[in-house]
């Protein structure tokens, strides 16, 4: 049958299509469905609920509401499970598992009968994995995030995961808080379900995917526990049925111009550096490459407008009350391509025009009065980062952005944990902390270890920031003068692995360079002494696949076989 819909899609291979649908209907009727119900378009709903994942623990409620929207619009909703990843419950790292989840999502959408799919998730890696899988599967897809958590309060001070997790932990390590006090703080950091309430990776990806056009307008910021989140789910269900009829597939929405809009949105939001990796991976699924030099260029043109932690002061619920993403998109509209198609069936420009009018508020700044004038994230290159590195200068100590210092090197995460607080560590505030072997293969899984802790003895002297660098990532909720994503990573022979204690390193953020001030002959000799890069040899299962095929940061850390040939480069 050509162009089948509903239950007749993606039949199991018995060599007899009639028998395949006969058998399929027999089994689904065991769930109580009637023939009439089974003739409707099917909307799959990706269920990412997990007892380990508070960031999206409202998924069951959202499935119920989205299913209602599907039914009201004449479809039938069928939820199905995939992997769920929560940041602090994923060993060795959530990033190590992101591509596994993307494969799960892609194959389950492809394997099962559905005319459109609702992607439900919220935590950092969940949204990128859902988007990567859906982009590859090619079925009409609409994203619904779980929504941010509400902010907490401790002794009169607002706080929330996870910028304040790090801030208070730093104060505890410095001896400013007692065990009892830090425990009180611990109970207030995530006072409700939902994704982290600051402009971390989850919030950044929610805004980026709304700007991409993959979510209903206003969908990024509604708190997880608000009734409006459920109404949004109902509207998402209704829209999914229409998208199935329109055959509005992801490739019609996820265009090069839409990804450039998303990158601009990340920059204007003061968003997470992780978004650059995830958007690169998502774009890569459609043969679109992200050029770091181009990213640096648009970063210089795009001011930071949203006053949320860690670059500013507020929380996601404040952004919701300020009108959500749309008022910010209006401010940067001259920089956007407003003709991009979205899940509404209308363009981004039409969605913005149809949204409620903006009003006076103090969370989203006007273009003319930004939090940070431009270049929230800068791309660095040099003999220490031939394929690039990034620094979130908007969240850095501005006085350290131009800095030359002596390297204090940690060869691994274990070495860092063992020595960072050693009173005998030879370190001063002017030194540069260097962490090696924390990249995609080195750790493995490119952990969010780039926020190298300030050595305790310096913390106790009142040192709040130092220049730190690694091939790791950093949580979007973190802050400091921190160079990340150094590529190639040290474990595969990148120059970062050649740094030795006492070497001089020059960070020139204005000039966009990162230099190891050691002569080339010496570096060539050190390169010869490096151990071989880790490989799949001697490993099995997913770990083997990972080590054999994961790419570097500038390619999004996707598996090389998951990406088609790159045919277009942005921005
Ligand atoms: Fe899940 Fe922050 S840990 S969103």
For residue 486, the enclosing domain spans 378-528
Residue nearest to atom 1 of ligand 1 (CA): 123
What is the pLDDT at residue 476? 78
Ligand 1 centroid–CA 19 distance in Å is 45
Q: Look at residues 8, 43, 407, 485 and name the one whose alpha carbon lies nearest to residue 244.
A: 43
Q: Tell me: do 448 and 325 sit in the same domain.
A: no
Q: HEC string of 36-86?
A: HHHCCCEEEEEECCCCCCHHHCCHHHHHHHHHHHHHHCCCEEEEEECCCCC
Q: Tell me: do 347 and 266 sit in the same domain.
A: yes
Rounded Cα–Cα distance for residues 77 and 66 (Å):
8
CATH number of the domain that residue 326 is part of: 3.40.50.2300
Q: Tell me: do 121 and 268 sit in the same domain.
A: yes
Is residue 447 situated within a structural domain? Answer: yes
Is residue 272 situated within a structural domain? Answer: yes
> Phi and psi at residue 383, in whole multiples of 5°?
-70, -10
What is the pLDDT at residue 1? 43
Q: Tell me: do 467 and 497 sit in the same domain.
A: yes
Is residue 491 situated within a structural domain? Answer: yes
Q: Tell me: do 139 and 156 sit in the same domain.
A: no
Q: Is 116 in the pocket of ligand 1 (CB under 6 A)?
A: no
Is residue 359 situated within a structural domain? Answer: no
What is the pLDDT at residue 3? 65
End residue of a domain, out of 338, 354, 370: 354
Q: Tell me: do 401 and 461 sit in the same domain.
A: yes
Q: Tell me: do 181 and 294 sit in the same domain.
A: no
Is residue 533 situated within a structural domain? Answer: no
What is the pLDDT at residue 4? 83
Q: Tell me: do 412 and 492 sit in the same domain.
A: yes
Q: Is 55 in the pocket of ligand 1 (CB under 6 A)?
A: yes
Question: What are the E-state strand segments in 150-224?
Answer: 152-154, 157-159
Six token digits for residue 208: 């980026």
End residue of a domain, out of 164, 186, 208: 186
Q: Is 56 in the pocket of ligand 1 (CB under 6 A)?
A: no
Q: Tell me: do 203 and 262 sit in the same domain.
A: yes
- The pick from 49, 52, 124, 473 for probing ligand 1's pocket by mutation, whose C-beta has the most ligand atoms within 8 angstroms, reads 124
Is residue 551 situated within a structural domain? Answer: no
The tens-digit pLDDT sequence of the chain (571 residues) is 456 889 999 999 999 999 999 999 999 999 999 999 999 999 999 999 999 999 999 999 999 999 999 999 999 999 999 999 999 999 999 999 999 999 999 999 999 999 999 999 999 999 999 999 999 999 999 999 999 999 999 999 999 888 889 889 989 988 999 999 999 999 999 999 999 999 999 999 999 999 999 999 999 999 999 999 999 999 999 999 999 999 999 999 999 999 999 999 999 999 999 999 999 999 999 999 999 999 999 999 999 999 998 888 899 999 999 999 999 999 999 999 999 999 999 999 999 999 999 999 999 999 999 999 978 999 999 999 999 999 999 889 999 999 999 999 999 999 999 999 999 999 999 999 999 999 999 999 999 999 999 999 999 899 999 999 999 999 877 889 999 999 999 999 999 999 999 999 999 999 999 999 999 999 999 999 999 999 999 999 999 999 999 999 999 999 999 999 999 999 9
Q: Is 195 in the pocket of ligand 1 (CB under 6 A)?
A: yes
CATH number of the domain that residue 393 is part of: 3.50.30.80
Q: Tell me: do 160 and 284 sit in the same domain.
A: no
Q: Tell me: do 122 and 250 sit in the same domain.
A: yes
Is residue 350 situated within a structural domain? Answer: yes
State how many domains the chain has.
Answer: 4
Rounded Cα–Cα distance for residues 122 and 130 (Å):
10
**222 class by beta-carbon count within 10 Å (0-12 exposed, 13-18 middle, 19+ buried):** buried
Q: Tell me: do 337 and 237 sit in the same domain.
A: yes
Cβ neighbours around 127 below 10 Å, total: 30
């Amino acid at each position: 049958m050509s162009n089948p819909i509903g239950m007749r899609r993606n039949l199991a291979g018995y060599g007899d299509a009639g028998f395949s649908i006969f058998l399929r209907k027999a089994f689904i009727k065991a769930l109580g469905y009637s023939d009439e119900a089974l003739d409707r378009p099917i909307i799959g709903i990706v269920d990412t609920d997990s007892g380990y994942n508070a960031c999206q623990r409202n998924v069951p409620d959202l499935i119920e509401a989205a299913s209602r929207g599907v039914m009201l619009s004449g479809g039938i909703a069928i939820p199905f499970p995939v992997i769920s990843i929560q940041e602090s419950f994923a060993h060795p790292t959530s990033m190590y598992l992101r591509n596994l989840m993307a494969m799960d999502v892609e194959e389950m959408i492809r394997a099962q009968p559905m005319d459109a799919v609702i992607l439900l998730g919220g935590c950092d890696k969940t949204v990128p994995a859902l988007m990567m899988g859906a982009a590859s599967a090619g079925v009409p897809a609409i994203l619904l995030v779980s929504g941010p958590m509400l902010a907490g309060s401790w002794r009169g001070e607002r706080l929330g995961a996870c910028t304040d997790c790090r801030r208070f932990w730093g104060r505890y390590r410095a001896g400013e808080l007692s065990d009892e006090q830090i425990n009180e703080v611990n109970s207030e950091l995530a006072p409700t379900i939902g994704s982290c309430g600051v402009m971390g990776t989850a919030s950044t990806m929610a805004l980026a995917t709304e700007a991409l056009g993959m979510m209903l307008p206003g969908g990024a910021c509604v708190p997880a526990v608000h009734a409006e989140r459920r109404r949004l789910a109902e509207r998402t269900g209704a829209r999914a049925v229409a998208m199935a009829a329109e055959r509005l597939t992801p490739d019609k929405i996820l265009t090069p111009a839409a990804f450039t809009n998303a990158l601009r949105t990340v920059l204007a939001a003061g968003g997470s550096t992780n978004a650059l990796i995830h958007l690169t991976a998502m774009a890569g699924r459609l043969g679109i490459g992200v050029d770091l030099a181009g990213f640096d260029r648009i970063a210089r043109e795009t001011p930071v407008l949203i006053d949320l932690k860690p670059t500013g002061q507020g929380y996601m619920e404040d952004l919701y009350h300020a009108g959500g993403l749309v008022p910010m998109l209006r401010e940067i509209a001259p920089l956007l391509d407003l003709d991009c198609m979205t899940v509404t069936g209308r363009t981004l420009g039409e969605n913005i025009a149809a949204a409620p009018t903006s009003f006076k508020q103090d969370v989203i700044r006007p273009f003319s009065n930004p939090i940070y004038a431009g270049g929230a994230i800068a791309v660095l290159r040099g003999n220490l980062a031939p394929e690039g590195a990034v620094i979130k200068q908007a969240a850095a100590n501005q006085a350290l952005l131009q800095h030359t210092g002596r390297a204090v090197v940690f060869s691994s995460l274990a070495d860092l944990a063992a020595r960072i607080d050693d009173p005998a560590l030879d370190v001063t505030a002017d030194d540069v902390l260097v962490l090696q072997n924390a990249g995609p293969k080195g750790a493995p899984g490119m952990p969010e270890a780039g926020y190298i802790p300030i050595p305790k003895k310096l913390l106790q002297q009142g040192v709040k920031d130092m220049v730190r660098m690694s091939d790791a990532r950093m949580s979007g909720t973190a802050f400091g003068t921190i160079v990340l994503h150094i590529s190639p990573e040290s474990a595969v022979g990148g120059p970062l692995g050649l740094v030795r204690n006492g070497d001089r390193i020059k960070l020139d953020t204005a000039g966009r360079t990162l230099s190891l001030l050691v002569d080339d002959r010496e570096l060539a000799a050190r390169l010869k002494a490096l151990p071989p890069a880790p490989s799949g040899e001697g490993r099995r299962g997913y770990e083997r696949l990972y080590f054999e095929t994961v790419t570097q940061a500038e390619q999004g850390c996707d598996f090389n076989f998951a990406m088609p040939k790159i045919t277009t480069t942005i921005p």
